[in-house]
Amino acid sequence: MINWKKPSLIILIKRMTAVGLITFFFPLLVVFLVYTSVPDLRGTNSLKGRKIVIDPGHGGIDGGANSSDFLEKEVNLEVAKKLYQELTRSGAQVILTRKGDVSLDQLNNISSSRHKRDLYARVSLIEKHKPDIFLSLHINANYRQPSTTGSIVFYNKGILNSEKLATVLQENLNILMEKHNLKKHRAEPADYYILRNTNYTGVIVEMGFMSNPREKEMLKTSRYQWQLTKSIVRGIEEYFSTSGNYRPNRTTENFSEGLPGIKVYFPGSKGEDLECEQLQTKKVLLSKNVTKELVFEVVARLIRGPQRRDLWVPFDPETKIRHIVLIDGVVEVDFSPEFTRVPGGSFAELLAIKSLVKTVTQFEGIYGVKILIEGREAELLGHLDLSKVLTPEVPKAVIALVIDDLAGGETGRKEIMTIRRPLTLAVMPGLESSTEIAREAYRRGYEVFLHLPMEPEVGRPEWLGPGAITTATPLEKIREIVLTDLQDVPHAAGINNHMGSKITKREEMMREIFKVASEMNLIFLDSKTTPDSVAARIAKELKVPFVERDVFLDEVNSLEHVKKQIRHLAEIATKTGQAIGIGHVGITGINTSRGIIEMIPWLEDQGIELVFVSDLCC
């Protein structure tokens, strides 16, 4: 109620171009009508009939950026659902690439890692639906600088209107960032897989930094998720209200002569290997200093990016080559500062350097590359050490670490589940916490296996636990037991044997187990508790994906022994390309978890990558 004895100010703010300000001074009424530049976007109904794909990043076994109390995949999905609700209400046709907590890697059968299959599936869905625009939702992390905050929108400069879409989205998000005292950013070009491999206008929206404690707590709340949603919707409305009916298009550059035999290597789109293009050039190469000229040409082509749209641009296209010097078989290349702005994160940085080194060292007599930035020795590119002469790498080795006995042993479990690297956790069935632990492991982004109890040659019966297969089990009952055990361990991607030295030697019993694995599309990991196991032969016969253990990490309960075994595992992986190690929770759990945590930096320094067991079966 207005107090007519005192002046009052009433501001009526509506989504219209006119905002009325009414000031009452008894007995005089004064009305001011102020016009603003805020467009009435809803009045234009710019979203009606538009087809929009919303891609909530990660999902299922892939938790994305996460911590003990935060999972990126969950926030991505919640905002995606809110966007679906708001956009459909405005008349848009909205497609979600996932509606639940699932990974998309099973939607295709390309021969690559699970992560690559997942990305390929998202690109395929976008291409299938032919949207007007698409948005891929993610959460960022920058643990090197936890003070970093704010939403960032990424786009591909090669796609028509993507920069415009990114810019208007970024501007609307920046209004929200300013309100919450978070950092405002510019929309940035980037060469993420999903942007480089789609033909449609789209962006990646990194909604915030979970590595910042305050912003992480905000991202977890429904209120802030709705605020992000509203900001994104306003940006989409603005984009369509000012856009014509453009169709997606890639810009290409026409080159003239080719140089036979000269190759430029770019990161490929369907795996970790590099793929080459023949060098195309407009310049006439002089006969003198031809090697130096050739090096300049191939590096310049690398910076410009590939002609094929299924390959990645490894470096910021704004990068300049200041000069090139050849010294005793080493090419010294001096770049402008833009060289360090490799888009796409640590994986893209690794591939970018590999592409540079392989491209330059193709010339006879050149064995390495030395990088300078504005005349000074470069030190780091992300996590990569550039201080030394870079030479072609040997193929990367990978290790899968499996932790057995979850639900059967508690000691060390919490420590294991703080490790933010790919681990395969084998859960025992039929115990009070079996289902809960399997679900929690899956929710946190780990791979889950059923740790199937099988009778050993030597050992106490109570060590087996419930849901076991013994020599007394009738063959016709084995299927029922395995299926029941799988119900106790949801999200299982495979099976490995708990003990089992007696059963894995019995062909008829293993065949029944493998029949279930085949029907359920499960991997079998032989823990190799006996050298007489028939598992490999039966797996081949029934076409079941199969791997076997190389090293037990903790048969001796000692921290130093665990670390020694991890070093041994690394030796095997370096020689063969891959290796599998098995550790345990329970009696040895503390030393096993500590050993793994302490050895991860060493493994990564050796160029050895931790992967899931399923990544070894692609």
56 - beta bridge partners? 137
Q: What is the DSSP letter of 396?
A: P
**What was the pLDDT predicted at 41?**
39
Please choose, from the candidates 321, 276, 270, 266, the residue with its C-alpha nearest in 3D space to the C-alpha of residue 297. Answer: 321
State phi, psi for 74 to the nearest 5 degrees: -70, -45
Q: What CATH architecture applies to the domain 397-616?
A: Alpha-Beta Barrel (3.20)
Kindly report each contact of residues 457-464 with a partner whose C-beta sits within 8 Å and lies 24 or more positions away, as own/partner: 457/501, 457/502, 457/530, 458/501, 459/499, 463/499, 464/498, 464/499
User: What is the rounded distance in angstroms from the CA atom of residue 209 to the CA atom of residue 363?
Assistant: 43
**What was the pLDDT predicted at 188?**
84
Please choose, from the candidates 476, 454, 474, 473, the residue with its C-alpha nearest in 3D space to the C-alpha of residue 463. Answer: 454
**What was the pLDDT predicted at 2?**
38
**What was the pLDDT predicted at 346?**
55
Taking each helix axis as running N to C, give the angle between helix 507-519 and helix 535-542, from 0 to 180 degrees, rounded to the nearest 10: 40
**What was the pLDDT predicted at 273?**
63
Residue found by looking up tokens 């079941």 in the block: 544
Q: Coil, strand or helix: which one is 229?
A: helix
User: What does R_g of the chain's alpha carbons equal in angstroms?
Assistant: 29
Domain spans of the chain?
Answer: 8-38, 46-241, 260-385, 397-616
**What was the pLDDT predicted at 186?**
85
User: What is the rounded distance in angstroms from the CA atom of residue 265 to the CA atom of residue 383?
Assistant: 22
What residues contact 474, with CB distance under 8 A and at least 6 apart? Answer: none
Based on DSSP, count helices (H) and strands (E) in the chain, helices before strands.
15, 28
Burial of 65 (0-12, 13-18, 19+ CB in 10 A): buried
Burial of 466 (0-12, 13-18, 19+ CB in 10 A): middle
- What global pTM score does this model have? 0.49
Other residues' Cβ atoms within 10 Å of the Cβ of residue 403: 31
Degrees (nearest 5) of the Cα angle 471, 475, 480?
105
Taking the CA of residue 272 as centre, how many other CA atoms within 13 Å lie in the half-sphere pointing to its CB?
Answer: 15
CA dihedral 185, 191, 194, 200 (to 10 degrees): 80
Give per-10-residue mean pLDDT for the chain (618 aa).
42 40 42 41 70 96 86 96 97 97 84 79 93 95 79 81 90 94 86 80 94 95 98 94 44 33 75 67 40 84 86 89 88 93 69 89 84 86 72 74 94 91 94 95 88 91 88 96 97 95 96 96 95 96 96 97 97 93 97 96 83 83
Q: Cα separations (Å) of 83 from 63, 80, 136, 232, 250?
A: 21, 5, 12, 8, 28
Q: Coil, strand or helix: which one is 404?
A: strand
Homologous superfamily of 46-241: Zn-dependent exopeptidases (3.40.630.40)
Other residues' Cβ atoms within 10 Å of the Cβ of residue 48: 11
Please choose, from the candidates 177, 175, 165, the residue with its C-alpha nearest in 3D space to the C-alpha of residue 53. Answer: 165
